[in-house]
Amino acid sequence: MKISHIEHLGIAVKSIEEALPYYEKVLGLKCYNIEEVADQKVKTAFLKVGDVKLELLEPTSEDSTIAKYIEKRGEGIHHLAFAVEDGVANALQEMEAAGIRLIDKAPRPGAEKLNIAFLHPKSTQGILTELCEPGQ
């Protein structure tokens, strides 16, 4: 697996509407895309910080994994996403062979037209890790 860069940081928020003024007015960043990912029961908002993005994640349903995360741990950094150059499917195979627990056995569509897959935080030093590649 070849990681090219950090694609984004995922941040769990209760409400994008309530969180955005901090990012935009206080930090001076600009939200350039808001998008719902029905599959993951989240609404996402994207801001750019140099080449790295921040992905705000708001649950759209009580049984969303983000809703459960906020319930247990509060708002905050939820995951770290690496862009991989040689394909998410290949990376997953490599990770599985290395004994890393996979949440996704195969890439699936994510926000921002990416193909994504998650690795389990129990296998990744406590950080929910997303691998992504341009897709769709």
List of residues contacting Zn ion (CB under 5 A): 10, 55, 81, 130
Q: From the CB of 102, what's the least distance to Zn ion, in Å?
A: 16
Contacts 24+ apart (CB under 8 A), 95-99: 95/1, 95/119, 95/131, 99/123
The nearer residue to Zn ion, 55 or 133, going by C-beta atoms, is 55
The nearer residue to Zn ion, 75 or 130, going by C-beta atoms, is 130
The nearer residue to Zn ion, 13 or 81, going by C-beta atoms, is 81
**What amino acid occupies position 48?**
K
Cα–Cα distance between 84 and 102 in angstroms, integer?
Answer: 16
Q: From the CB of 130, what's the least distance to Zn ion, in Å?
A: 5
Burial 93-105 (b: 16+ CB within 10 A, else e): eebeeeebebeee
Q: From the CB of 118, what's the least distance to Zn ion, in Å?
A: 8
